[in-house]
Amino acid sequence: MKILVSLALLTAAVAPCATYYITVAGLGGDPLFDQRFTSLAQELDKLVRTTPEAKVTTLIGVESAKPRIQQALADAAKNAKAEDTLIVTLIGHGNYDGQDYKVNIQGPDVTAADLAEWMDRVPAQKQAVINTTSCSGASIDMLRRDNRVIVSATKAATERLATQFARFWVEAMRNPEADTDKNEVVSVLEAYRFADKKTVGFYETQKRLATEHAMLEDTGKGNGVRAPGPDNGHGLLAGQTPLVRFGTLQQAAKSPEKQALLKRREDVEAKIEALKYTKAAISVADYRKQLGALLLELAKVQEEIDR
């Protein structure tokens, strides 16, 4: 009996965390935008399905009706655990009527208030809303919560044109260049920085006035920042929220023997990032001592993963 109990506890300890991906691609209003939004959602669907323990719901065009979105989040609320992650991605046109942000879908539109209410019921402690629509900056105020990352393609409701940010966000999830720390995981923060840089570069190359300015909010306060980092206190949670895994790590994540090691690595990486955000409050010597110890621990864990 003791052996059975021990095995049960071990299984629970290494049970993989799930990531719930809910992607909504709304109506384009004309064939060109319909094709663009559909293509982006389909590629995103394909990319996230490679992540171990992915729970994927993708609603495109006429399928992106309000009851379907509500049901997808209700299912996540029913099945998700606290240690799981919820990623909601909005692709398409958004609008703001002076009071409410809405994403344009089949039938009645979904407001930011609707989305916030449904997401609040999901027990997953790590949550992210990736709003790549026009006017998406107007959704931040209603969506922000503790333990939730919000990425918006625009900084305000006044940026009403269709965005380029959406396609660069999807590119970040398949391009190894987005993985700046080379740990074979693209976090929300890494994807944000990659997509924002690509978006800025697009307008500069085209010699066009930029009509969108991405924002990130992950503190539960304020309306986000353009360049998250230790100086403004934004980006810590986003850096600890994985979007996709790839390469050898993707295979390792499928191994029960290595899942606990991957969890240890994520915990050590989270401590390193948290230390960077407290650097200004401690002495240089103490910072270097703590960082050195954490980097050594990280190297040892990675060595075990690579075996």
CATH number at residue 198: 3.40.50.1460
Residues 164 and 187 in one domain: yes
Q: Are 298 and 268 in contact (CB under 8 A)?
A: yes
Residues 128 and 271 in one domain: no
Residue 178: inside a domain, yes or no? yes
Q: Give residue 44's pLDDT.
A: 97
Residues of the chain with pLDDT under 70: 1-16, 247-259, 262-263, 266, 270, 273, 280
Residues 172 and 281 in one domain: no
Asked which of 245, 274, 296 is the last residue of a domain, the reply is: 245
The whole-angstrom distance between residue 127's C-alpha and the CA centroid of its chain comes to: 7
Residues 132 and 209 in one domain: yes
Greatest extent of the chain over all pairs of C-alpha atoms, in Å: 71
Residues 232 and 267 in one domain: no
> Total structural domains in the chain?
2
Residue 8: inside a domain, yes or no? no
Phi, psi of 144 (to 5 degrees): -65, 140
Domain that holds residue 220: 16-245
Residues 41 and 157 in one domain: yes
Alpha helices (H) along the chain: 2-14, 31-48, 66-79, 112-120, 140-143, 165-172, 188-205, 236-239, 247-252, 256-277, 284-306
Residues 282 and 220 in one domain: no
Asked which of 226, 245, 264 is the last residue of a domain, the reply is: 245
Residues 208 and 87 in one domain: yes
Per-residue DSSP letter, 50: T
Per-residue DSSP letter, 247: H
Q: Count CB neighbours of 269 within 10 A.
A: 19
Residues 161 and 27 in one domain: yes
Residues 95 and 169 in one domain: yes
Residues 77 and 144 in one domain: yes
Residue 2: inside a domain, yes or no? no
Q: pTM of this prediction?
A: 0.84
Residue 171: inside a domain, yes or no? yes
Q: Helix crossing, 2-14 with 256-277: angle to 10°? A: 50
Q: Give residue 1's pLDDT.
A: 40
Residue 250: inside a domain, yes or no? no
Residue 173: inside a domain, yes or no? yes
Residue 4: inside a domain, yes or no? no
List the one residue out of 16, 36, 15 whose CA is nearest residue 26.
Answer: 36
Q: Give residue 17's pLDDT.
A: 85
Residues 168 and 272 in one domain: no
Amino acid found at 266: E
Residue 9: inside a domain, yes or no? no
Q: Which residues of 189-220 are buried (b: 16+ CB within 10 A; e: fewer)?
A: bbbbbbbbebbbebeeeeeeeeebbbbbbbbe
